[in-house]
Amino acid sequence: MDEILTEFIAETRETLETVAGELVAWEAVPQDRTRLDGIFRFVHTVKGSCGFLDLPRLERLSHACEDALADVRADRRVPDAMLVDAVLAIIDRIVELIDALEAQGVCPSGDDRDLIEALAERRPEPPTALLRCPSEPEPDLCNEGEPPLPTAPASTPRAPSRSIRLQIDLLDRMMAGISDMVLARNELARRLREISSDPGVDAAFERLSTSVAEMRDTITRTRMQRIEALFSGLPRLLRDVSAELGKTVMLEVDGADVELDREMIEVIRDPLTHIIRNAIDHGIEPPGARLELGKPAIGRLSVAARQAGNQIVIEVADDGRGIDSERLVQRAIAAGILSADAARGLSAAARLALIFEPGLSTAQEVTAISGRGVGMDVVKSNIERIGGVVEIDSRPGSGLKLTLRVPLTLTIIPALTIEAGGLTFALPRAAIDEIVRVAGESVRLESLGGALIANIRGRRMPVACLARIIDAEDAPEQSTMLVVLKPAGGEAYALAVAAVHDHEELVIKPAAPVVMAAGIYAGAALPDNGRPILLLDPAGLAVAGGVSWSETARIEPEVPVAAIEAVPTLLFRDSDGVERGIRLSLVERIEDIPAQSVKMSAGRLRVVRDGRLLPLISGEGLDGREIIRILRISDGEIALAYAIDTVRDIVDLTTSLTPAARPGPVAGVALVDGQPVEMLDPHWLFAEGGAIPLAAEPERPICLLTGDDGSWTREILRPLVESNGYRVLFAREPSPSDVALVIACDAPEPAGTRSPVVRLRWQRETAGAPAGSIYRYDRPALLDALKAGLAQGGHR
Amino acid sequence: MNGLFLVALIAGERVVLATEEVESVVELEAITPVPRLAPHIAGLTALRSRVLTVIDCRTALGLGMSPREGVLPAIVVNIEGHGYGLLVDHVEDVATIEGEMAPILASLQPGWAVAGRGMVTLEGDALLLVDPAVLVAGPALAAA
């Protein structure tokens, strides 16, 4: 049954028990106003809940009763025995319906008009009613068309209640008690190890230990509640807010059955409400504007919760206008939060993160709903207070997605213990990106104007040294471990520590105000060793370590996402004995085929599989094999076979590629565990294996890449341009006159060119970008431009 | 003003605390130091399953520093839901004090002036009644 319904039933029963006494007293002295109040409150509460829970029959009953009692309270009506009877009859009926509701899960249908009329009709002429009543024994308890419900509640078989209501602090005391037990158990374990060699004692202790652990799990679970308790209020909120703003919004809710710590639900309630108000107010456009933009008039808002490991992820997405980060920056400058200089250096993520600055709002006008200066900064600090993070993903023009990641329970946070300056601290795992050791070429520390910068596989980020933050006397060279932290809304940075110890689930309690005042702690915990440990606050550390976002943004160049993306890669030894790798997502399956199914036909090797001829790509070394192992690879349409020797491993490849010298099946070389591995160029494979043979090298038209010639241009843009049939030249190289297409990367148009020019911009937003420019990851537009250039170039 | 009071020696001074403000008297063994805090915060310690913030009363009063190693007597107080251990020189006894709390007659050292609520008389001696919340807040408040 619905949790809210269960709660409603439990609550109604509970109040009923206290009201029962009042009812009897009121019956004896109908004029007693004080008795009336309790009964009035009861029917009033029932009425409110029923409207909310969509139980119209109960609502009508309680409403009528409330009206009558309100009249009495307002001295518009003199209570008499008739009224008392009618009210009692209605309350009895409510009890019956509640019982039925609990037993069957639905409220039985039926007619209560007689009961309601019994309340009302005698109002104008009570004397007649008085006369009539005794002659008709309980006329109002039965309906004519329907079998009467059992009238005496006591005789109704009521299922024994399976739930009780508890005070949270009782649960807290249980939790504290079990924590004590765990500590005592650990202490006992230490002592036993020192003195005991008795297997009997050890076995008994083991049993005790197991049941303590089980008990801890169970008690932890008692604090859990379905997130439905939070989501159930959303439709109403949405209705009210959108009505006030004259917008129509459709709500999609998913994952209401996810369980979360009760206390956590309360902490999330306000931030979630705020985010939703914001989405409707600022995100979703008025219906007219939406139609003009080609969007459906009805806005969409989706709220979804899911559990991911030890975290609960709550996503709120709308299809509104997203965040105008340009305007955000302007406001930040106007509000004095940011200097115009600093603003220029901000990365896209840092621009968006401005939304979390106190006192910033992109709302043009202050409305009753939002835009009053309490905003996303409060959301962020509330979520961070419970060890969570807020992520923001804005697609200007098409919507905004906010992701709240919070730990499963308030009390237990997965943490990593680290050491610096001889002290041990904990870091919330939710904020940790990765942990690396400073060693070799791939991870090293660079010094820049007195500040440290970590270079982790080509990704640069500022370093905060924990030993320095806590004024420890560690030599800097002792901090050789880097923990890459990503505080909510902020930029990633590396925290240098002396050692990384262990993963631990910590019971986090708020630390005393004098401790929190330090600004770098998020709470205190007592791990199993019994020594208190403090949980560090990644955002606070960033500020204390001098690497907060504004400074970060200035030194961190925009890192192309593709360069650091972890690519699941299948490593194999090729048929010619060379170690190679291919993106795992392209591999459909691995098969062993008899050598005789390989045929040389129509000018190339082909293999018959499943009644189809697949092109077979192979190096040397197929001769003399009876069984050939092939990778079936596919781009979704074209399938082909690639002959290999053996499969080695599947790894997540994060290192960047050194491009191959010549176009061919190999796109470049990557280092895997220190060994070079050739990575196949899937594009080349499909181009080669597909139906359309590409034009030979000398006939390719030339594409000139100007402006930035950094790794993005060389490693990401260039292969795309080449795969679209161009020969790539860079501006520094002497360029011939017959350039078919010029691509200007974040640069002005080169002077004096007669060739068509495509200008790429780095930011997704069009604001401030040259007209006609293409966002660098707008693949369709880029491909169109490349095609157009090819067509034109071909005509020359 | 009649009631039970805890008599303790803080920074060489015999003082009393109201027993209703005192949770317990304990001996602390290991204090985990916490960096970046006000100087009068000696660190954290565990009392059963609770984390206590340990306050060095001498430092809080601006009168130097208590020893922070070894077995240390401490008075446990609870202020706004947080448990604190006040490091003291010595805990003497619980005593019943009768009679009114008197205003402080002398001009005290600045720390004591803020921490003292008033004066009580025990067996003929005048003792200062100390407000634990002031000790927890530390010299910043004491100096104010």
Interchain pair B36, A514: CB under 8 A: no
How many angstroms separate the Cα of A273 from the Cα of each of A235, A316, A376, A378, A651? 11, 11, 11, 12, 42
At A130 the pLDDT is 38
Q: What is the pLDDT of residues A82-99, one digit of tens each?
A: 787 788 888 888 888 888
CB contact under 8 A, B30 and A531: yes
**Residues A19-45: what's their mean pLDDT?**
75
- Long-range contacts of residues A627-630, Cβ cutoff 8 Å, at least 24 apart: A627/A592, A627/A593, A627/A594, A627/A595, A628/A575, A628/A592, A628/A593, A628/A594, A628/A595, A628/A598, A629/A590, A629/A591, A629/A592, A629/A593, A630/A590, A630/A591, A630/A592, A630/A593
* Higher per-residue pLDDT: B120 or A750: B120
pLDDT of residue B141: 52
- CA torsion, ordered A137, A140, A142, A143, to nearest 10 deg: 140
Chain A residue with minimum CA distance to B50: A526
> Residue length, chain A?
796
The CA-CA-CA angle for residues A767, A769, A775, to 5°, reads 100
Return the pLDDT at A558.
Answer: 39
> A716: which residues sit within 8 A by CB, 6+ positions away?
A560, A562, A563
Q: Taking Cα atoms as reference points, which of A719, A705, A779 lies closest to residue A747?
A: A705
CB contact under 8 A, B34 and A513: no
What does the pLDDT average to over A621-633? Answer: 78
CATH architecture of A3-155: Up-down Bundle (1.20)
At A378, which helix (H) or strand (E)? helix A376-385
Distance from CA of A193 to the nearest CA of B (A): 21
Task: Tell me the CA distances in angstroms from A136 to A120, B8, B10, one per residue in order.
Answer: 17, 80, 83
Distances (CA, A) of A597 to A606, A623, A709: 8, 13, 47
3-state secondary structure of A600: strand
Rounded-to-integer distance, Cα A36 and Cα A26, Å? 7
Q: Where are the alpha helices (DSSP H) in chain B?
A: 57-60, 110-115, 132-137, 139-143
Name the residue with tokens 């100087």.
B39
CA B101 to chain centre: 18
Q: What are phi and psi of A616, to 5 degrees?
A: -110, 125
Backbone angles phi, psi at A674, to 5 degrees: 80, -5
For helices A81-104 and A33-53, the axis angle rounded to 10 degrees is 30
Q: Can you give the pLDDT at residue A56?
A: 81
Confidence of residue A750 (pLDDT cuts 50, 70, 90): low
A127 pLDDT more than 70? no
pLDDT band at B105 (very low <50, low <70, confident <90, very high): confident
Put simply, the answer to whether B35 touches A532 (Cβ < 8 Å) is no
Q: Which of A667, A650, A664, A757 is nearest to A715 (CA)?
A: A667
Give A28 or A211, the one with higher predicted confidence.
Answer: A211
pLDDT in the model for residue B16 = 93
Q: Is B122 on the interface with A (CB under 8 A)?
A: no
Judged against a pLDDT cut of 90, whether residue A308 lies above it is answered with no
Please tell me which residue, A710 or A493, carries the higher pLDDT value: A493
Which chain A residues contact residue B86 at CB under 8 A? Answer: none
pLDDT at B87: 94
The verdict on a CB contact (< 8 Å) between A533 and B53 is no
- Using CA atoms of A232, A235, A238, A239 in order, give the dihedral in degrees to the nearest 10: -140
Nearest to B35 among A179, A470, A512 (CB): A470
Q: Are B36 and B48 in contact (CB under 8 A)?
A: no
* pLDDT for the residue A698: 52
Could you give the CA distance from residue B87 to residue B72 in angstroms, rounded to a whole number?
A: 7
Integer-rounded Cα Rg, in Å, for chain B is 15
User: Residue A597's pLDDT band (boundaries 50, 70, 90)?
Assistant: confident
Architecture of domain A226-324+362-407 in CATH? 2-Layer Sandwich (3.30)
Architecture of the domain made up of A562-689: Beta Barrel (2.40)
CA angle A372, A374, A376 (to 5 degrees): 120
**DSSP H helical ranges for A442-485:** 466-469
C-alpha angle A160-A162-A166 in degrees, rounded to nearest 5: 125
Nearest to A531 among B32, B53, B82 (CB): B32
A674 - beta bridge partners? none
Would you state the pLDDT for residue A793?
Answer: 55
Q: Among all residues of chain B, which has the CA nearest to that of A519? A: B36
Q: What is the pLDDT of residue A385?
A: 73
Single-letter code of the amino acid located at A549: W
Q: Which of A471, A509, A513 sits opposite B51 (nearest CB)?
A: A509
Spell out which residues of chain B touch residue A518, defining contact as CB-CB under 8 Å: 34-37
Which CATH number do you get for residue B79?
2.40.50.180
* Structural fold of domain A414-559: OB fold (Dihydrolipoamide Acetyltransferase, E2P) (2.40.50)
If one compares A722 and A358, the residue with the highest pLDDT of the two is A722
Q: Of A130-144, A442-456, A539-553, give the range with the top mean pLDDT.
A: A442-456
Q: Tens digit of pLDDT for each residue in A539-590? A: 888 888 887 644 333 333 333 333 345 677 888 888 877 888 888 777 877 7
Distance from CA of A414 to the nearest CA of B (A): 19
Amino acid sitting at position A637:
E
Cβ pair A705, A720 in contact under 8 A: no
Q: Which residue of B lies nearest to A175 if distances are taken between CA atoms?
A: B49
pTM beyond 0.90, yes or no = no
* pLDDT higher at A704 or A129: A704
Tell me what the pLDDT averaged over chain A comes to: 76
Mind listing the pLDDT tens digit for each residue in A681-693? 877 777 766 543 3
Alpha helices in A666-728 (DSSP H): 682-689, 711, 718-723
Q: Which of A514, A521, A529 to mutate to test the interface with B (most CBs of B within 10 A)?
A: A514
Which residue of B28, B34, B41, B53 to mutate against A (max A Cβ within 10 Å)? B34
The better pLDDT of the pair A678, A487 is held by A678
Q: What is the mean pLDDT of residues A671-696?
A: 67
User: Which pLDDT belongs to residue A474?
Assistant: 64
As given in the structure block, the two tokens for residue A106 are 């639905």
Q: Provide ipTM, 2 decimals.
A: 0.90
Chain B residues in contact with A464 (beta carbon < 8 A)? none
The domain A697-795: what is its CATH number?
A: 3.40.50.2300
Which residues on chain A place their C-beta less than 8 Å from a C-beta of chain B?
176-177, 179-180, 183, 421, 423, 469-472, 509-515, 517-521, 524-526, 530-534, 544
Measured in angstroms, the CA of B29 and the nearest CA of chain A are apart by 11
Q: Which residues of A are less than 8 Å from B35 in CB distance? A: 421, 423, 469-472, 518
CB pairs under 8 A between A and B: 73
Q: Which residue has the higher pLDDT, A142 or A464?
A: A464
Q: What is the pLDDT of residue B57?
A: 92
Looking at the 3D structure of chain B, how many domains does it have? 1
| Average confidence (pLDDT) over A616-645 | 78
Cβ within 8 Å of residue A130, ≥6 positions away: A80, A81, A82
Cα–Cα separations (whole angstroms), residue A216 to A165, A169, A203, A222, A225: 20, 16, 20, 10, 17
Distance of CA A765 to the CA centre of its chain: 24
Cβ(B117)–Cβ(B34) below 8 Å: no
Q: Do A511 and B53 touch (CB under 8 A)?
A: yes
> H or E element: which one contains A206?
helix A199-222
From CA A586, how far away is CA A635, in angstroms rounded? Answer: 6
What are the backbone angles phi and psi of residue A407, rounded to the nearest 5°?
-65, 155
CB contact under 8 A, A469 and B45: no
d(CA B72, CA A287): 70
Instruction: Identify the helix (H) or strand (E) that includes residue A792.
Output: helix A779-795
Closest CA to A723 of A694, A743, A690, A749: A694
Of A514, A525, A530, the CB nearest to B53: A514
Q: What distances in angstroms separate CA A483 from CA A452, A500, A524, A532, A555, one per listed residue?
A: 14, 9, 20, 22, 19
Q: For residue A552, what are its two tokens?
A: 């970060």
* Range list of H helices, A246-375: 262-278, 287-292, 325-334, 340-344, 348-353
Domain that holds residue B81: 3-143
pLDDT of A254 higher than 90? no
Write the pLDDT tens digit of every residue in B10-56. 988 999 999 999 999 999 988 999 999 989 999 999 887 788 999 99
Report the DSSP pairing between strands A727-730 and A702-707. Answer: parallel
Secondary structure (3-state) at A512: coil
Q: In terms of Cα–Cα distance, which of A87, A56, A58 is closest to A73?
A: A87
Residues A299, A249: contact at Cβ < 8 Å?
Answer: yes
Report which of residues B19 and A594 the model is more confident about: B19
Partner-chain residue, chosen from B32, B49, B53, that has the shortest CB–CB distance to A512: B53
- Identify the residue whose tokens are 């560690």: A474
Q: Do A514 and B137 touch (CB under 8 A)?
A: yes
Sign of the CA dihedral with A6 first, then A9, A13, and A16 last: positive
Task: Name the residue of chain A whose CA is nearest to B135's CA.
Answer: A514
Confidence of residue A610 (pLDDT cuts 50, 70, 90): low
- E strands along A596-722, which residues? 598-601, 604-609, 612-617, 627-634, 639-653, 658-659, 666-672, 675-680, 702-707
Are A694 and A722 contacting, i.e. CB atoms less than 8 angstroms apart? no
Q: CB–CB of A369/A517 below 8 Å? A: no
Q: Do B38 and A517 touch (CB under 8 A)?
A: yes
pLDDT in tens, B51-96: 899 999 999 988 888 888 889 999 999 998 889 999 999 999 999 8
Q: Which of A18-27, A119-128, A214-223 has the lowest mean pLDDT?
A: A119-128
Contacts of B41 in chain A (CB under 8 A): 514-515
Q: Mark B47-71 as b/e (b = at least 16 C-beta within 10 Å).
A: bebbbbbbbbbbbbbbbeebeeeee
Burial state string for A402-419 with b = 16 or more CB within 10 A and e = fewer than 16: bbbbbbbbbbbbbbbbbb
**Euclidean distance between CA atoms A740 and A726, whole angstroms:** 9
Nearest-Cα distance to chain B for A518, in Å, is 6
> Which of A700, A695, A704, A793 is CA-nearest to residue A740?
A793
Q: Cβ contact (<8 Å) for B48 and A183?
A: yes
